């Protein structure tokens, strides 16, 4: 089981992920751009880290290296991409699986998709 997750999103999506993780006993780390510093998602998590350096807040949430650095600095053992932003970005997934990340944490990975069981012969 994961112990600490970085939520790579903001707003309502991040809040829902944080609440679900809390119900499972998982600590959460949120990230925020300067414009979102007072956002509710920064207050419902175990810890928060600022990413980006002012300017366009959306660019901060798309900065793969800043997100990975925040996850490593806060001791996260997985990343939840949320919805939109980097959730369907293959480069982000590959970066989360890189050797340097896995070497620094015991289990560095993104949450796995549930495996589908093959259809049984009774349903054919």
Domain carrying residue 97: 4-110
Distance, in Å, from the CA atom of 14 to the CA atom of 3, rounded to the nearest integer, reads 17
Q: Do the Cβ atoms of 9 and 82 come closer than 8 Å? A: yes
Place of tokens 């259809």: 119
Answer yes or no: is 19 within a domain.
yes
Answer yes or no: is 53 within a domain.
yes
**CA torsion through residues 20, 26, 27, 30, sign:** negative
Answer yes or no: is 120 within a domain.
no
Q: What is the pLDDT of residue 107?
A: 47
Q: How many domains does the chain have?
A: 1
Q: What is the pLDDT of residue 102?
A: 55
- CATH number of the domain that 81 lies in? 3.40.50.20
Q: Do the Cβ atoms of 39 and 63 come closer than 8 Å? A: no
What is the mean pLDDT for each group of 10 consecutive residues in the chain (124 residues)?
A: 91 95 96 93 96 86 93 92 89 79 49 55 54
pTM beyond 0.85: the answer is: no
């Amino acid at each position: 089981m994961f112990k600490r997750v970085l939520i790579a999103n903001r707003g309502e999506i991040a809040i829902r992920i944080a609440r679900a993780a809390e119900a499972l006993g998982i600590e959460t780390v949120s990230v925020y751009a300067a414009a979102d510093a007072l956002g509710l998602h920064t207050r419902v998590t175990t810890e928060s880290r600022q990413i980006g350096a002012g300017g366009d807040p959306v660019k901060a949430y798309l900065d793969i290296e800043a997100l990975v650095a925040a996850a490593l600095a806060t001791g996260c053992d997985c990343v939840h991409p949320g919805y939109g932003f980097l959730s369907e970005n293959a480069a982000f997934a590959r970066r989360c699986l890189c050797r340097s990340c896995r070497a620094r944490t015991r289990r560095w990975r993104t949450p796995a998709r549930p495996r589908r069981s093959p259809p049984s012969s009774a349903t054919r």
